[in-house]
């Protein structure tokens, strides 16, 4: 293999050229998909700093072909000029924002607690409820995933009306918990299968009960998985629109409903819509940038056995 | 997993006295009686047989929650150590049963009534009339047909997601940066996406994509003709959900045994050959999981459609969910809408079950 050492033969130079073309193709593909992913986000954020003429002329790059202005952000009361003043639009926006936060965090927490318990039980003990064995119970939980929201929406509408839960955060929290529970169980079951049973056996020998062993030994090990399940649930709950649109009217409306209700009426008033959309997507974009590891872990959990 | 008995064995001598057992049973039955009693009373009040009652059904709900807690506590009181094990699964099971099974039964009832929220009569059973109406409702069948198109689009999404996963798995610099960027669309709410892309970037006069097309000499029209409108909806949905499949496939790629791929290289396989003969077959289980889950998510598609086209032009982009949403929103037709939803549920259950059966037979492993 002298040619590999001296690299002066035509075929060796050929290898080099081939390697470079491969590199260039890979990076070109990566960069073009990066543009596809980022351009809509870039567009939304820059548009929120535009004025009417900028929108109509189609200016794209800030400071290059238009001067950023706070007009869009002023329309939701979040500009440097208005931040110290009392602003009803900002109150409105913050109320929706707070609703979204409370609803998505509490339902994710509830789902993670119940889902982890169920997944742990199913991965360690044999149950028999009537004719249902462990695999049937698992299937029962996971099969909730295919339940389309429309089927539940109208019965819940009527049910919540008679329970006075319509347009309340608790009503939404219950539904969202139900929606993400199968996903949490799916992720956590996988996590608990990966934890060796000998750990708990040792804890039991040392005198802990099964709940003690679960809380003191298993939970700390499974914590990263729980965080992954929590964040994935958070994303799903934060973005949920269908139930929120049907079951809330004024008090408990979440951000997606607010965004949707503004889309129709705005016309070419793009800067305010863009500011609202940017504010609605920003929390999760930040979550994605800093907690990307957990999101990927959560989604990978079920895929690879 | 077919081990007999528990994986985690516990040996305890439970010594439960008869009085303790009675206490547990009394708790459950007491709470159940309270709940049933309140429900009966409230029903009597609503039908006008009793003069005093509550304004809403809330107290019945509280009694039900009390019963659920009593049931959980009674497990430990009555069964001791075995009850503690049951306590792991019981809360989730109770939660799902009370939030799914009861509403489903209720939905079954209202789907055979002529209930319209605007009518003062309330629900009146009307037998098979809703079924007949559905049979003659062209828009519903059209929505079902659209769902077939939407589901078929998953195959293209799968190809793109697989190529992206391969790219991310190649030897590249700044892998973390690309991974975060490729993940971002999944984080955005479909409602925001429908404004960001559907309503502003694809806007015919000032949207940047329309501008680009005009520069290239075309005439932009994205939601005018049925085919293009449907394609645009698919593209927006794909844009948000491709990262989902991509991450699952990437995880699968990273779990592949390195030796096998090395061996195929040593045996002189070109890149394409080693993909076709080694990587793709090894990735089949992961691919199937990703595609099945994606199809399940796809069957719920609605947000983008509701917000961008609301089903138009002429129902070309309607999904079943968005159609029923409008049936309720615009016409308050609860009975008929629920029947459509129930039929859709039955169809989904049949199709997904068949799909899983096929897959597990084909892969010869439980899916």
Residues B153 and B244 in one domain: yes
Phi-psi region of B217 (alpha: psi -120 to 50; beta: other; left: phi over 0): left
Same-domain pairing of B177 and B306: yes
For residues A166 and A17, state if they share a domain: no
From chain A, pick out residues whose CB is under 8 angstroms from the CB of B306. 241, 245, 260
Q: Is residue A102 part of a domain?
A: yes
Of A45-49, A295-299, B7-11, B211-215, the poorest mean pLDDT is in B7-11
Confidence of residue A55 (pLDDT cuts 50, 70, 90): confident
For position A5, what pLDDT does the model report? 56
Q: Determine the structural domain holding residue B182 and report its residue range.
A: 138-363
Residue A158 shares a structural domain with residue A290: yes
Question: Which of A30, A46, A74 delimits the end of a domain?
Answer: A74
Q: Do A58 and B182 touch (CB under 8 A)?
A: no
Task: Decide if B158 is inside a domain.
Answer: yes
Residues 336-365, chain B, touching A (beta carbon < 8 A) = 337-338, 341-342, 344-345, 348-349, 352
* Residue length of chain B: 367
Residues B170 and B248 in one domain: yes
Non-local CB neighbours of A236 within 8 Å, separated by 6+ positions: A176, A179, A180, A183
Note whether residue B289 is domain-resident: yes
Q: How many domains does chain B contain in total?
A: 2
**Whether the predicted pLDDT of A230 surpasses 90:** yes
* Residues of chain B under the 50 pLDDT cut: 1-4, 366-367
| Least confident stretch, A4-8, A298-302, B28-32, B255-259 | A4-8
Q: Which two tokens stand for residue B267?
A: 């045996």
Using CB atoms, pick whichever of B164, B184, B344 lies closest to residue A288.
B184
Q: What is the mean pLDDT of residues A195-212?
A: 86
Could you tell me which of B91, B81, B76, B96 has the C-alpha nearest to residue A118?
Answer: B91
- pLDDT attached to residue A78: 79
Q: Are residues A27 and A158 in the same domain?
A: no
Query: Where a domain ends, among A26, A46, A74?
Result: A74
pLDDT of residue A297: 83
Question: What ipTM goes with this model?
Answer: 0.88
Read off φ and ψ for residue B215, nearest 5 degrees.
-60, -40
Which residue in the block uniquely carries the two structure tokens 């986000």?
A41
Interchain contact, B7 vs A163, CB within 8 Å: no
Range of the domain at A16: 2-74
Distance from CA of B240 to the nearest CA of A (A): 9
Provide the number of structural domains found in chain A: 2
pLDDT given for residue B2 in this prediction: 37
What pLDDT was estimated at residue B59?
Answer: 86
Q: Does residue B121 form part of some domain?
A: no
B286–A239 C-beta distance less than 8 A = no
* Residue B9 belongs to a domain: no
Nearest to B178 among A34, A156, A296 (CB): A34
Question: Which of B92, B110, B128 delimits the end of a domain?
Answer: B110
Q: Do the chains contact at B191 and A175, CB–CB below 8 Å?
A: no
Residue A116 resides in a domain: yes
- Cβ neighbours of residue B109 under 8 Å, at least 6 residues apart? B123
B284 in the same domain as B203 = yes
Q: What is the 3-state secondary structure (H, E, C) of A133-193?
A: CHHHHHHHHHHHHHCCHHHHHHHHHHHHHHHCCCCCHHHHHHHHHHHHHHHHHHHHHHHHH
- The domain boundary, picked from B110, B129, B154, lies at B110
Shared domain for B101 and B193, answered yes or no, is no
Structural contact between residues A173 and A106, judged by C-beta atoms closer than 8 angstroms: yes
Rg of chain B (C-alpha set): 28
Query: Is the residue at A79 inside a domain?
Result: no
Instruction: Answer yes or no: do B27 and B154 share one domain.
Output: no
* Pair of tokens at residue B270: 């070109």
Claim to verify: residue A186 and residue A287 sit in the same structural domain: yes
Which chain B residues are closer than 8 Å to A30 by Cβ? Answer: 167, 172, 178
Please indicate, yes or no, if residue A80 is contained in any of the structural domains. no
Residue B247 lies in a domain: yes
- Chain A: nearest CA to B346, how far in angstroms? 10
Cβ contact, residue pair A304, B251, below 8 Å:
yes
Question: Does A153 lie in the same domain as A197?
Answer: yes
Cβ-based contacts of A296 with chain B (< 8 Å): 179, 183, 247, 250-251
> Per the CB < 8 Å rule, is A44 touching B196?
yes
Among A74, A99, A115, give the residue marking a domain's end: A74
Asked if B171 and B309 sit in the same domain, the reply is yes
Q: Give the helix/strand (H/E) hosting A130.
A: none
pLDDT in tens, A128-184: 877 888 888 888 888 888 888 888 888 888 888 888 888 889 999 999 999 999 999
Which ranges in chain B belong to alpha helices (H)?
18-46, 58-79, 81-96, 102-110, 129-135, 138-169, 175-187, 190-193, 208-215, 226-254, 258-266, 271-274, 280-298, 303-308, 320-331, 334-363
A273 and A201 in a single domain? The answer is yes
In a domain, B357, yes or no: yes
Q: What is the mean pLDDT of residues A80-90?
A: 79
Give me the CATH number covering residue A139: 1.10.3720.10
Q: Are residues B171 and B233 in the same domain?
A: yes
**A83 Cα to chain B: minimum distance (Å):** 24
Domain shared by B95 and B219, yes or no: no
**Number of A–B residue contacts, CB under 8 Å:** 298
With CB atoms and an 8 Å threshold, state whether A60 touches B208: yes
Find the CATH number of the domain harbouring B150.
1.10.3720.10
Nearest by CB to B103, which of A140, A159, A295? A159
Q: Do B307 and B265 share a structural domain? A: yes
Q: Is residue B154 included in any domain, yes or no?
A: yes
Q: Are A115 and A252 members of one domain?
A: yes
**Shared-domain flag, residues B338 and B274:** yes
Number of CB atoms found within 10 A of residue A24's CB: 10
pLDDT computed for residue A72 by the predictor:
82
Tokens of A218: 């298993």
- Alpha-carbon distance of A179 to A172, in angstroms, equals 10
Q: Are residues B189 and B314 in the same domain?
A: yes
Report H helices in B175-222. 175-187, 190-193, 208-215
Alpha carbon distance B161, A116 (integer Å): 30
Q: Is there a contact between A210 and B8 if contact means CB atoms under 8 Å apart?
A: yes
Q: Could you say which of B57, B182, B188 has the minimum Cβ distance to residue A33?
A: B182
On whether both A225 and A163 belong to a single domain, the answer is: yes
Provide the CA A249 distance to its chain's centre, in angstroms. 24
Same-domain status, A217 and A136: yes
What is the per-residue pLDDT across B155-211, written as a single tens digit (0 to 9) for each? 999 999 999 999 998 888 888 899 999 999 999 988 888 888 888 888 888 888 888
A239 & A203 share domain: yes
Residue B202 near residue B222, CB atoms below 8 Å: yes
Is residue A66 located within the same domain as residue A109?
no
Q: CA distances (Å), A243 to each of A160, B172, B325, in order? A: 12, 42, 10
Asked if A70 and A185 sit in the same domain, the reply is no
Q: What is the pTM of this model?
A: 0.89
| Residue contact A178–B252, C-beta within 8 A | no
CA B352, B353, B356, B358 dihedral sign is negative
CA distances from A288 to A284, A285, B186, B187 (A): 6, 5, 9, 7
């Amino acid at each position: 293999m002298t040619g590999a050492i001296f690299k002066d033969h035509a075929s060796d130079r050929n290898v080099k050229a081939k390697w470079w073309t491969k590199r260039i193709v890979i990076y070109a593909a990566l960069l073009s998909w990066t543009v596809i992913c980022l351009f809509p986000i870039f567009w939304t954020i820059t548009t929120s700093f535009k004025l009417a003429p900028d929108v109509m002329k189609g200016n794209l790059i800030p400071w290059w072909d238009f001067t950023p202005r706070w007009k869009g952000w002023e329309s939701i009361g979040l500009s440097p000029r208005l931040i110290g003043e009392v602003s009803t639009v900002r109150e409105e926006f913050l109320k929706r924002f707070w609703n979204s936060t409370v609803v998505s965090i509490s339902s994710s927490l509830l789902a993670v607690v119940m889902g982890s318990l169920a997944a742990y039980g199913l991965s360690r003990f044999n149950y028999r409820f009537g004719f249902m064995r462990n695999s049937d119970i698992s299937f029962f939980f996971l099969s909730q995933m295919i339940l389309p929201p429309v089927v539940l929406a109208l019965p819940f509408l009527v049910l919540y009306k008679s329970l006075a839960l319509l347009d309340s955060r608790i009503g939404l929290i219950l539904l969202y918990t139900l929606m993400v529970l199968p996903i949490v169980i799916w992720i956590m079951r996988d996590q608990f299968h990966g934890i060796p049973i000998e750990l708990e056996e040792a804890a039991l020998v040392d005198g802990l009960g099964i709940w003690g062993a679960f809380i003191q030994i298993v939970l700390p090990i499974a914590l990263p998985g729980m965080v992954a399940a929590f964040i994935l649930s958070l994303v799903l709950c934060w973005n949920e629109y269908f139930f929120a649109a049907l079951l809330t009217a004024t008090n408990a409306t979440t951000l997606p409903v607010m965004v949707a209700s503004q889309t129709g009426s705005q016309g070419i008033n793009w800067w305010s819509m863009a500011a609202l959309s940017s504010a609605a997507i920003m929390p999760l974009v930040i979550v994605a940038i800093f907690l990307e590891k957990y999101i990927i872990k959560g989604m990978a959990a079920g895929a690879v056995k | 997993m077919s081990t007999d008995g528990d994986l985690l064995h516990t040996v305890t001598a439970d010594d439960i006295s008869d009085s303790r057992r009675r206490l547990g049973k009394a708790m459950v039955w007491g709470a159940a009686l309270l709940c049933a009693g309140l429900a009966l009373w409230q029903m009597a009040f609503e039908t006008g047989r009793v003069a005093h009652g509550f304004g809403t059904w809330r107290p019945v709900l509280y009694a039900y929650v009390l019963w659920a807690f009593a049931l959980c506590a009674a497990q430990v009181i009555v069964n001791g150590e075995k009850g503690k094990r049951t306590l792991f699964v019981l809360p989730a099971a109770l939660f799902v049963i009370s939030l799914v099974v009861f509403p489903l039964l209720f939905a079954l009832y209202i789907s055979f009534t002529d209930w319209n929220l605007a009518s003062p009569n309330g629900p009146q059973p009307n037998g098979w009339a809703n079924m007949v109406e559905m049979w003659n409702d062209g828009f519903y069948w059209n929505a079902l047909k659209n769902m077939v198109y939407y589901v078929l689009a998953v195959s293209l999404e799968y190809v793109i997601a697989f190529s992206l996963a391969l790219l991310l798995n190649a030897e590249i610099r700044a892998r973390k940066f690309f991974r975060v960027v490729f993940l971002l669309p999944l984080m955005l709410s479909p409602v925001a996406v429908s404004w960001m892309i559907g309503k502003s970037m694809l806007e015919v006069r000032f949207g940047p994509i329309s501008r680009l097309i005009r520069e290239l000499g075309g005439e932009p029209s994205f939601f005018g003709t049925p085919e293009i409108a449907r394609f645009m909806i698919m593209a927006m949905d794909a844009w948000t959900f491709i990262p989902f499949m991509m991450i699952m496939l990437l995880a699968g790629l990273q779990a592949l045994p390195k030796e096998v791929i090395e061996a195929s290289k040593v045996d002189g396989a070109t890149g394409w050959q080693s993909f076709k003969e080694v990587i793709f077959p090894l990735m089949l289980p992961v691919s199937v999981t990703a595609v099945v889950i994606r199809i399940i998510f796809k069957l719920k598609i609605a947000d983008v459609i509701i917000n961008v086209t609301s089903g138009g032009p002429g129902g070309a982009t309607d999904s079943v969910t968005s159609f029923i949403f409008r049936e309720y929103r615009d016409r308050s037709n609860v009975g008929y809408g629920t029947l459509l939803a129930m039929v859709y549920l039955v169809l989904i259950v049949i199709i997904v079950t068949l799909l899983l059966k096929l897959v597990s037979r084909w892969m010869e492993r439980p899916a």
